[in-house]
Amino acid sequence: MILLTHELRLLLRSRMAVLTLLLVALLSIAAVVAGMAEVARQRDIIARIQPKQAQDIASVAAWVGKTKDAGSAAYYSFHATWDAPAPLAFAALGLRDVAPYILRVRALGLEAQLYDGEAFNPELALPGRFDFAFVLVYLTPLFAIALCHDLVSGEREAGRLRMLNAIAGSGRHLWARRVLLRGVLLFVALAVPLTIGAILSQLSGGTLLAVLGLVALYLAFWIGLTLLIGRLRWTSVANAATLAGLWLVLTLILPTVAHVAINQAIPVGQGVELTLAQREAVNRAWDIPREDTMRAFYANHPEWKDSPPLTAAFHYKWYLAFHQVGDESVAPQVSAYRKGMEARDAAAHNIGWLLPSVGVQSVLARLADTDMQAQLAYQDRIRAFHARLRNFYYGYLFTDKPFGKADFDKAPAFSSLDR
């Protein structure tokens, strides 16, 4: 302990080391504060949509209450869905920075609504919003290099290396103490702001320990790499230049190349293409006999086949039916699109076993529930809610049951599973 205290005094005499540690701490604090502010903003938006939704439904109900028309209620009523941020989302915003976390849907065709705000898998390995994950993955390696690149070479160039190695009890123990001290101080500068943010966000202890373990492993990798280069007996300048090059390759160049390779190996269309395909199928319904549409609808939904036949007048059950048929017509493309996105996501995770920067970012996003799996799970909840919503309105449309003001309160309510 006395030797570690002595090493700490020596380290704190170095202005560069002190500034480095202070900068790491300040960046960590800023990242945690920025992440928590963004999560608070998203929670506030989600909270504010509820009363707005109630006002919107009340306006529609006041008008529909006069006509008792379930079709008008289905057509004009928007129903809010949302994806509440998980407790760790402040540390790794992930897809929440680019994909919608609020979507208002109607009982019409879902695919056109779902992909209007294109949800795509961004480069897991490329820089994104400034958050703790960004500080950890892209900036922390530079600070580890700054503190450790001249650990031995600096003493050699100052002419003290032989003396230090000759002192009893030094050698490996001396360098181990110095490395451990630098690693612990870097870890503390990162871990303390993160822990405070986690406590304020009510993050579970197990998840916090997992994140702190991930931080420690990532630091150990970069410090180990720095020590490995230091064993080559190069000058401090050569060590720093080599490590900076490795940082550039491992955190930016190779992840970018891997991302491009994944996209080439697993071609996936865009969600907007599904929107266009669904809308083409919907628009086609206006040009074909209505009986053909109803026949296709009843084939997959026989529970409504006893509905009274259509007359010459417009009926919303035909309108909603051809929207449903439009969704079902693009089901194979939707399935292929999803499988392609999942395959890309799995490939990105596999790349993480080779590239630590990609791996750490992927694991953080998974723990924070902000990755592609979380986005697809949100889409699944929207689909399940939309199915209940459709069936609710079908119960009125296909039986010609009047739809009054009181019936609006019977409509299904979306739940985000109370995260």
User: Rounded CA gap, 240 and 348, in Å?
Assistant: 29
Q: Quick check: is 107 in a domain?
A: yes
CB atoms within 10 A of CB 130: 17
pLDDT at 1: 63
Tell me: the pLDDT tens digits for 83-118? 999 999 999 999 888 888 999 999 999 988 887 654
User: Rounded CA gap, 194 and 364, in Å?
Assistant: 13
> Do residues 95 and 214 both lie within one domain?
no
Tell me: the pLDDT tens digits for 222-242? 999 999 998 888 888 898 999
User: Rounded CA gap, 128 and 126, in Å?
Assistant: 6
> Do residues 224 and 260 both lie within one domain?
yes
User: Rounded CA gap, 224 and 172, in Å?
Assistant: 15
> Do residues 86 and 215 both lie within one domain?
no
* Beta-strand relationship, 102-105 and 79-82: antiparallel
User: DSSP strand E in 76-136: where?
Assistant: 79-82, 102-105
The pLDDT of residue 160 is above 50:
yes
User: Rounded CA gap, 79 and 103, in Å?
Assistant: 8
User: N- to C-terminal Cα distance for the chain?
Assistant: 44
Q: Quick check: is 108 in a domain?
A: yes
> Do residues 157 and 17 both lie within one domain?
yes
> Do residues 109 and 168 both lie within one domain?
no
The pLDDT of residue 203 is above 60:
yes
Please enumerate in sequence order all residues whose Cβ is within 8 A of that of 315, keeping only pairs 6 or more positions apart, or say none.
71, 397
Helices (H) and strands (E) in the chain, counts: 19, 2
Nearest to 309 by CA among 210, 400, 408, 205: 400
> Do residues 16 and 120 both lie within one domain?
no
> Do residues 223 and 116 both lie within one domain?
no
Q: What is the mean pLDDT of residues 133-144?
A: 95
- Phi and psi (nearest 5°) for 327? -60, -45
The pLDDT of residue 186 is above 80:
yes
Tell me: the pLDDT tens digits for 287-345? 899 999 999 999 999 999 989 988 888 999 999 999 999 999 889 999 999 999 999 99
Helices 172-200 and 140-148 pack at an angle, to 10 degrees, of: 160
> Do residues 48 and 111 both lie within one domain?
yes
- Domain boundary among the residues 264, 296, 313 is at 264
Question: What is the per-residue DSSP string for 276-302?
Answer: HHHHHHHHHGGGS-HHHHHHHHHHH-G
> Do residues 242 and 279 both lie within one domain?
no
At 104, is the secondary structure helix, strand, or coil?
A: strand
- Domain boundary among the residues 264, 292, 312 is at 264
Q: Quick check: is 413 in a domain?
A: no
> Do residues 257 and 163 both lie within one domain?
yes
At 119, is the secondary structure helix, strand, or coil?
A: coil
At 203, is the secondary structure helix, strand, or coil?
A: coil
Q: Quick check: is 79 in a domain?
A: yes
Q: Give the domain range for residue 90.
A: 30-125+267-408
Q: Quick check: is 417 in a domain?
A: no
> Do residues 143 and 271 both lie within one domain?
no
User: Rounded CA gap, 372 and 346, in Å?
Assistant: 10
Q: Quick check: is 176 in a domain?
A: yes
- Domain boundary among the residues 241, 264, 287 is at 264
pTM comes to: 0.88
Q: Quick check: is 418 in a domain?
A: no
Tokens 């439009």 correspond to: 326
The pLDDT of residue 119 is above 50:
no
DSSP 8-class letter at 257: H
User: DSSP strand E in 139-224: where?
Assistant: none
Q: Quick check: is 415 in a domain?
A: no
pLDDT at 165: 64
User: Rounded CA gap, 209 and 395, in Å?
Assistant: 50
- Tokens linked to 6: 């002595």
> Do residues 259 and 297 both lie within one domain?
no
Burial class (CB in 10 A: 0-12, 13-18, 19+), 164: middle
Average pLDDT score, the chain: 88
Domain count, the chain: 2
Using alpha carbons, list the distances in angstroms from residue 128 to 29, 81, 95.
18, 26, 10
Tokens 């160039």 correspond to: 157
User: Rounded CA gap, 229 and 223, in Å?
Assistant: 10
